[in-house]
């Protein structure tokens, strides 16, 4: 059974992965705090990803890393740099030193948030980050490419859209992913035999998707869910004002909000 480290294990996505991966992988969970529902049969090791020695400790002995840990919102440059940039470097470098074979990295729609909604984009477009947070996710993709090509680490970067239990407004009808679809995609990132470096979109099979996810489909991704199942209710209760700030770009209003610590993103890691 493959031994997998999940960082950010106390978050919403980490919690979903624990349920979907139970019995499939041997899991080591890590976060700055223990999950509230930690089971007796789960291994939890606390660590702050800003601490390189601590990260080396949690990576030691595992076969693969699912890196979900970090700030999941816009914040000050100092906070983003210390946690999402330096922390992500610590994870990749520790994986290399420890001999782990594979890293699945939680990137974000906000790495490409300034693309217009009128344009359907693939995973090979130039990044257009919409925030300091988006810059940190673009950095994670770039360092993943470096470690894949220079050090033969196998890397999948997933540009997660909106990983909530269900879509909550019109914009998210295009970018939402169910937890089971995201778990399927992460599982491909962990197990596909021919992976070297891939960037894919973490999105369900949404009728209104803005993304061409051919790269994920080529690896075998077959989403089971579609945000359109909620469209009738959402369009009746939470339609988007076309004149609202950010209504024309994929990052939404987030693309134009200046840093105030804790401005929420679509991602929940």
Catalytically annotated residues? 133
Q: How many residues does the chain have?
A: 269
Question: Within 13 Å and on the Cβ side, how many CA atoms surround 222?
Answer: 1
Residue written as token pair 């909106």: 162
- Convert 71-92 into a string of H (helix), E (strand) and C (coil): CCEECCHHHHHHHHHHHHHHHH
Cβ neighbours of 269 (radius 10 Å) = 22
As a dihedral over the C-alpha atoms of residue 105, residue 8, residue 82, residue 100, rounded to 10 degrees, the angle is: -50
Cβ neighbours of 1 (radius 10 Å) = 9
Give the C-alpha separation, 66 to 185, whole Å. Answer: 12
Q: Which residue in 249, 219, 210 sits closest to 121, CA to CA?
A: 210
Residues 133, 97 contacting (CB under 8 angstroms): no
Cβ neighbours of 244 (radius 10 Å) = 11
Give the C-alpha separation, 230 to 236, whole Å. Answer: 10
């Amino acid at each position: 059974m493959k031994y997998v480290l999940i960082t950010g294990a106390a978050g919403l996505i980490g919690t979903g992965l624990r349920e979907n991966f139970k019995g499939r992988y041997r899991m080591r969970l890590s976060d700055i705090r223990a999950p509230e529902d930690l089971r007796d049969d789960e291994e939890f090791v606390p660590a702050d990803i800003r601490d390189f020695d601590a990260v080396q400790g949690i990576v030691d002995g595992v076969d693969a890393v699912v890196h979900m840990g970090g700030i999941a919102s816009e914040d000050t440059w100092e906070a983003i740099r210390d946690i999402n940039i330096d922390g992500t470097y610590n994870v990749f470098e520790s994986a290399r030193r420890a001999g782990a074979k594979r890293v699945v990295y939680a990137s974000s729609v906000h790495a490409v948030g300034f693309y217009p909604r009128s344009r359907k984009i693939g995973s090979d477009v130039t990044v257009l980050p919409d925030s300091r947070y988006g810059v940190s996710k673009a950095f994670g993709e770039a360092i993943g490419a470096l470690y894949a090509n220079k050090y033969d680490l196998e890397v999948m970067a997933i540009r997660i859209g909106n990983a909530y239990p269900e879509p909550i407004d019109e914009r998210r009808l295009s970018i939402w992913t169910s937890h089971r679809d995201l778990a399927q995609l992460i599982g491909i990132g962990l197990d596909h035999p021919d992976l070297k470096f891939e960037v894919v979109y973490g999105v369900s099979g949404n009728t209104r998707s803005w993304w061409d996810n051919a790269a994920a489909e080529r690896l075998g991704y077959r989403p089971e869910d579609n945000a359109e199942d909620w469209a009738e209710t959402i369009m009746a209760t939470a339609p988007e004002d076309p004149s609202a700030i950010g209504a024309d770009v994929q990052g939404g209003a987030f693309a134009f909000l200046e840093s105030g610590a804790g401005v929420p993103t679509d991602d929940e890691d």
